[in-house]
Structure 1
Amino acid sequence: MGEPNFRKRRVLVLGVGNILWADEGFGVRAVEAFHRAYAVPNNVTVLDGGTQGLYLVHHVTEADDLIIFDAIDFGLAPGTLKIVANDEVPKFTGAKKISLHQTGFQDVLSAADLLDRYPAKLVLIGCQPADLDSWGGPVTEPVKAVIPEAIMAAAGILERWGVDVSPRSGSAPTLLGNGIDFEHYEWRADPAALTA
């Protein structure tokens, strides 16, 4: 009889949101910063989910464990982080809407549940936005300031899950191309940067 084949758990670190609406881009900017800061083993996927909605179902159903970065309106002070886990993360569109695009992601989670392929562990790292109305605007200072704390929280969660996370040495491959990465897009989107 051969040795048992132990598969490593598949983990997805996902950022969702829309970088065109100021702080609604928190999730994308956080996952981008996480990718730049940390190296993870090959059983971990780091993904910019943007506003893909139901197109993310196959990524979610392939994951054993899932961390999501998202801008969430918890009614707290701008830039406040709140971590919600497992059953506390709303699954169905009938739940109270707490994010501009959450209906789409709730549908993703609902589909994963209906397919009986819901992640065993689910953590949402949410940030209270200050501005969701500025079309083309950058993330605001209170939200930008907590991105390091958000990605450190994600790294800590992964470590508790037994995932080997280490600070990245050298530069990371670009997670977002076409000039929409934080360094290029946020500079252009910030009106103050244009007059500096």
Structure 2
Amino acid sequence: MTSTLLIGIGNVLYADEGIGVHFVNYIQEKYQFYHPNITLDLLDGGTLAQGLIPILCRYDNLIVVDTVNSPGVQPGEVYSFNFDQAPPEIDWQGSAHEVEMLQTLIMMEMVGDRPNTHVIGVTPTVIEPMTLGLTPQIQAAVPVMEQALLKHLSLQGFSSKCIAEVDINSLIPDSYKRGANMYA
């Protein structure tokens, strides 16, 4: 039996910076996923980066949802790519945790512990301290991110069932309470 981890990275107290966490919480509330041979866990990874290594190395596949920086593109632009084939315009400089997560994945690769990694990223609009919530541009990107995730999981053989209609904004006020919880 192989395993996949869907992890949301971000600081929910910095507006769009929290999209990874908000998105994983949204997906967890909205869908059930099925695969006969692969388990799928969901995790709010917050800004733990290197602290996540003991968890990340237990998985065969990793899907990271986070902000990504790409100079010259509009906020809300969605990227979906294999970490080993990152588009050249991605510079990983959008936030402090983004650089830490990149360094974490590189360190894991150096010692041979990094799972096969796929990234679903969105360019942020606002990264301001103590701003809970998402800008309209990032809210508009959520369906695109959702379709990218569903397509990626479908290509891995997963089927999905929508179990609830969820507005991502309804989950945001409690995001900070969820912490680094794992959902199976």
2:99 is the counterpart of 1:139: no
Q: Which has the larger radius of gyration?
A: 1
SS state of the match for residue 40, structure 1?
strand
Moved segments of 4+, more than 4 Å: 183-186
Matched, 1:182 2:172: yes
Q: Return the alpha-carbon distance in structure 1 between the equivalents of residues 121 and 26 of structure 2.
A: 15
- 1:36 maps to 29
Indicate conservation of the 8 Å contact 1:57/1:111, yes or no. no
Structure 1: runs of 5 or more not aligned:
1-6, 172-179, 187-196
1:79 is matched by which residue type in structure 2? G
C-alpha contact (below 8 Å) 2:92/2:102 kept by paired residues: no
Question: Superposition RMSD on alpha carbons, in Å?
Answer: 2.6
TM alignment of 1:18-57, pairs within 5 A: 18-41=11-34, 43-57=39-53
2:21 corresponds to which letter in structure 1?
V
Give the distance between the partners of 1:165 and 1:98, measured in 2 at CA: 33
User: 1:114 offset after TM fit, Å?
Assistant: 2.9
Alignment of 1:164 onto 2:154: no
Match of 2:102 in 1: 106
**Please, what TM-score do these two structures have when normalized by structure 2?**
0.79
Contact 2:56-2:114 within 8 A present in 1 as well? yes
- Flag the 1:85–1:63 CA change in 2: closer, same or farther, 3 A: same
CA distance in 2 between partners of 1:96 and 1:108 (Å)? 15
Over the matched positions of the two proteins, sequence identity in percent amounts to 23
- Shift of the 67–149 alpha-carbon distance from structure 1 to 2, 3 Å rule, reads same
Give me the whole-angstrom Cα distance separating, in 1, the residues matched to 2:85 and 2:29. 29
Q: Is the 8 A contact 2:3 2:59 kept in 1?
A: yes
Change (3 A) 1:126 1:43: same
**Counterpart pick for 1:82 among 65, 79, 84:** 79
Aligned residues: 166
Per-residue deviation at 1:106? 1.7
Q: 1:184 to 1:97 in 2, by over 3 A?
A: closer
Q: RCO higher in 1 or 2 (8 Å CA, sep ≥ 6)? A: 2
Shift in alpha-carbon separation, 1:19–1:113, aligned structure 2, 3 A? same
Give the superposition deviation at 1:30: 0.9
Q: Which has the higher strand share?
A: 2
Partner of 2:180: none
Name the CA distance, whole Å, in 1 between partners of 2:41 and 2:5: 5
Q: Is the 8 A contact 1:84 1:124 kept in 2?
A: yes
Equivalent residue number for residue 73 of structure 1: 69
Of residues 142-151 and 46-55 in structure 1, the stretch that sits farther from structure 2 once superposed is 142-151
Most deviating of 109-118 and 150-159 = 109-118
